[in-house]
Structure 1
């Protein structure tokens, strides 16, 4: 893989892979590990700390369309650069926070910064770099980024034995400032140099499969489908380990839950090797189907260990493919023009709805029980799967008619 025209931009993917691991690890995955220390230090309950986090996810969703428009206006790599600096500043603000109010404000700002440095922006940067190879590049990037939780969960837990959560956040701020920001700045300068040299003009445009007159309807369907699947996944992930314990798996719940991350990476590796002939709409259908099947298996099997293992693996496989579809499906349907704006609108619906998922699923488990809650969540996932299937059939008919 070289940087020549028509090939995957390996240097860009490598740089983004490192920054995605750091971005997700420091801004997202570490929070659940550090939350108990935050709660104790600030005199809050753990539920209140996670309530602040959920509110920040909602605000982050509202900011996503604005961030997406800026990507199209000034370039995704420039947004990534600014986002890295903002990530460092907000982590430092959170580490300093002398009160609950400042802490809550800092957590909200961290989530806004996250929208500028995580997958939404990284996918746009790959489209900006070379739309023709962006779908493959997104697959490679998600394969690397999938190791964020595997790396930063144990790192955060280990550091808690030596440092306070405030000191850890200061260290994480340094990673964003001194590792991520220079790499993003290099990408931004490289992109400007390519434009100045006239080497980027020939590879700047990809035409979407959806005709202009059907664009609005397709946008609504795909945004709703991703939001529904995001809600489904967030509902389960927020309660996975304690839910498995309540089902009767005991100490095995942690082991079963840990299978989710490797399954995500495995699905991306399989797709990278064998999935090149599958269109993004079909990938989205497969992702939804795997998540739904996994949830149904757990609902049926209950405390049966093999069933729980199958659930965690299916959910991880589906989640891994879904991450790829979030980047490749908008490019396939709507093309490269305005990609940042389009994905920003989709992210807004997905993040805003996903923010309510942990509370909604917790309430459902209390009133309906775990089994019925799982089946209700699976039914919701079927709706998302049906929406993706309708897109797959519609675009296929359109492509056949155009031939």
Structure 2
């Protein structure tokens, strides 16, 4: 794949674009839900159902993203998605019924799939191939601060204006975000004249493992982050302590950027997946040690930040860059469905079992996630060995032939 030169300012502009897009979409209900409920009379589950609908729409749109990137180019796709999120905020501000609220979230869901990390990273891989990894990591540095910036920002806006006016401000942020991404290169995905090689048995196995791995991580992470304020309050911490989540995300991503090529996607996957159970054990000890709750928020924020990089860069290790957009478009669908389920599932777990017991369920899931990471790493190791064997055999045959020729002479 022919790659374009990497603009130096791309990571900063795209990172700020992601910070705004996540802040005015995914993280918005966490701050606005109480005010919306008090004013409209809608229940909290009814309000959060809008976000669930958006995630279901994301799953439905996902298979078409690769086609749109190839046909229109990354700049048009990501910019259009950003404008759709802004239009969604505008529509929510004027929604007078639940039907209008849900229609606004359907529009927002399309925008989220076209402009959040997954689509942006696919666009960057289409442009820069294997060079994209470092740029992806740098973009997540700013994007990881979305909760740390927009949770307190949204709360401050609600102290001086109504939630409808605050959503209008969010729509203006969306316009600013679209302007930030306008200089993304417009090149389209180069289509090879030769047909792509058929997927091997190992490719299919890696694809299924990756899809299940991402789906479980998304379920745990989205469920945990959505109900994080509830967790903090239950252990006597102020909701503002949720900023530790964003600090952990950005701090971990900064360390990954500094590590550079020394930390391969496979090693990063193993490290992050194995750290997840340890982090939940720390969280479970919060009832005995007050500092553990803050440590859990900071630590799992760091894990969540690294998992964003894992999700984006691991396919570059498992599959070719040319197939990145098309494969991830399908492989992300289970994760997006789990993301839609997780807020309601964790609400039920917290209410039925209690927060500590719900964390035990999460601990069990993280053990499964760690096992999947090990299976992916082992599968990649076998693939690497199998790729080296033919070359080694040719070398031995060459040496034998040379020795035979020497003997004949």
Find the partner of 1:85 among 76, 83, 86: 83
- Summarize the Cα distance change of 1:306–1:365 in structure 2 as closer, same or farther, 3 Å threshold: same
CA contact (8 A) 1:242 1:253 kept: no
Distance 2:160 2:270 in 1: 45
* Residue 102 of structure 2 corresponds to residue 104 of structure 1: yes
Q: Find the counterpart in structure 2 of residue 72 from structure 1.
A: 70
Q: Find the counterpart in structure 2 of residue 326 from structure 1.
A: 311
Distance 2:335 2:55 in 1: 10
Find the partner of 2:113 among 109, 112, 115: 115
Matches within 5 A, 1:115-154: 115-154=113-152
CA contact (8 A) 1:87 1:114 kept: yes
**Structure 1 residue 255: Cα displacement:** 5.4
Distance 1:385 1:100 in 2: 40
Deviating above 6 A after TM superposition, structure 1's stretches of 4 or more consecutive aligned residues are none
Distance 2:309 2:61 in 1: 22
- Summarize the Cα distance change of 1:255–1:161 in structure 2 as closer, same or farther, 3 Å threshold: closer
Matches within 5 A, 1:115-194: 115-177=113-175, 179-189=176-186, 191=187
Q: Find the counterpart in structure 1 of residue 404 from structure 2.
A: none
Distance 1:103 1:399 in 2: 50
- CA root-mean-square deviation: 2.8
Q: Find the counterpart in structure 2 of residue 224 from structure 1.
A: 212
Q: How many residues align?
A: 385
Q: Find the counterpart in structure 2 of residue 297 from structure 1.
A: 282
TM-score by length of 1: 0.87
Distance 2:104 2:364 in 1: 36
Kindly provide the CA deviation profile for residues 348-397 of structure 1, in whole angstroms up to 9, marking residues without a partner as x: 21121122122223323344343332222111111122112111121123
Q: Which moved more, 1:57-66 or 1:391-400?
A: 57-66
**Structure 1 residue 211: Cα displacement:** 6.6
- Summarize the Cα distance change of 1:144–1:8 in structure 2 as closer, same or farther, 3 Å threshold: farther
Distance 1:218 1:364 in 2: 31
- Which runs of 5 or more residues in structure 1 are unaligned? none
Kindly provide the CA deviation profile for residues 16-39 of structure 1, in whole angstroms up to 9, marking residues without a partner as x: 112111111112223321222222
CA contact (8 A) 2:32 2:163 kept: yes
Q: Rg bigger for which structure?
A: 2
**Structure 1 residue 318: Cα displacement:** 0.9
Matches within 5 A, 1:48-63: 48-63=46-61
Distance 2:245 2:185 in 1: 34
Distance 2:181 2:309 in 1: 21
Q: Find the counterpart in structure 2 of residue 310 from structure 1.
A: 295
TM-score by length of 2: 0.86
Give SS of 2:269's match. helix
CA contact (8 A) 1:299 1:374 kept: yes
Find the partner of 1:235 among 223, 237, 245: 223
* Residue 263 of structure 2 corresponds to residue 278 of structure 1: yes
